[in-house]
Amino acid sequence: MYQIITGPLLWLTFAVFFGGLAWRVYTYIKGLDWKLDRVAYGHHTAFGIRGAARSIAAWIVPFGSQGWKVKPIFTILFFTFHIGLVVVPLFLAGHAVVLKMRFGLGWPTIPMLAADILTVAMICAGVFIIIRRIALPEVRIITSLYDYLLLAITMAPFVTGFMAVHQIGADYEFWLLAHVIAGEIMLLAVPFTKLFHVVGFFLSRGQLGMDYGIKRGGMKGTNMAW
């Protein structure tokens, strides 16, 4: 079973993951109209790139934008959740071994203690994000079962992975299989759900930054059709 889910099924998962992401990015960009979206795509590129870079940088750094500053507790939870979500899967030693064996890829890893701390912090942040969605009326009203399902899909690989590594509860093999399957489900969900924001964030922030950078960057007063 382990050989199948870390072999052919893993290959298929990565194919769908990267292929799906590529298609979503292509359709997103192809669907943009520079007049409709009020961004001069293909014109005034320097202004647009600078604006996009500023926008992405402001929102990818904790408290880098006004939106992060007005909700400091949520900002800390949000970045704790996402830092763990990105760093642990990419730099965990166990994952590096599997990728080296199956695909011949290798890169630096983080110590197990650091991985444990990030995993626990990510899970705790996820739990508090769920509590926040339930407790705050303004958030609860826009939250559906779909959102809770996505949070469960996202957190499941970390919970099962932690259980497997520390052999908590059921036997190691059970948690290991559950961890691999949960991770593959999460990867398969990314191109087809709101989890696409792992890439879509950069596309949308870049688009908004281009719009702002061009319009606020000295391009007003020209003959450009806004």
Q: Is residue 173 part of a domain?
A: yes
The whole-number average pLDDT for the span 76-82 is 94
Bigger pLDDT: 29 vs 159: 159
Q: What domain count does the chain have?
A: 1
| CB-based contact 38:188 (threshold 8 Å) | no
Bigger pLDDT: 17 vs 211: 17
Q: Is residue 12 part of a domain?
A: yes
The gap from C-alpha 55 to its chain's centroid, in whole angstroms, comes to 17
Quick: pLDDT tens for 184-213. Answer: 999 999 999 999 999 999 999 998 888 887
Q: Is residue 35 part of a domain?
A: no
Give the CATH number for residue 88: 1.20.950
Q: Is residue 207 part of a domain?
A: yes
Q: Is residue 8 part of a domain?
A: yes
Q: Is residue 7 part of a domain?
A: yes
Q: Is residue 24 part of a domain?
A: no
Instruction: Please state, rounded to an integer, the average pLDDT across all residues of the chain.
Output: 87
Buried-state track 156-189, b at ≥16 Cβ within 10 A, e below 16: bbbbbbbbbbeeeeeeeeebbbbbbbbbbebbbb
Q: Distance (Å, rounded) from C-alpha 177 to C-alpha 159?
A: 13
Q: Is residue 223 part of a domain?
A: no
| CB-based contact 147:133 (threshold 8 Å) | yes
pLDDT of residue 4: 79
The whole-number average pLDDT for the span 175-184 is 92
Domain that holds residue 204: 2-18+43-215
Q: Distance (Å, rounded) from C-alpha 142 to C-alpha 144?
A: 7
Percentage of the residues of the chain whose pLDDT score is greater than 90: 49
Amino acid letter, 152: A
pTM, rounded to two decimals:
0.86
Element housing 223 (H / E): none
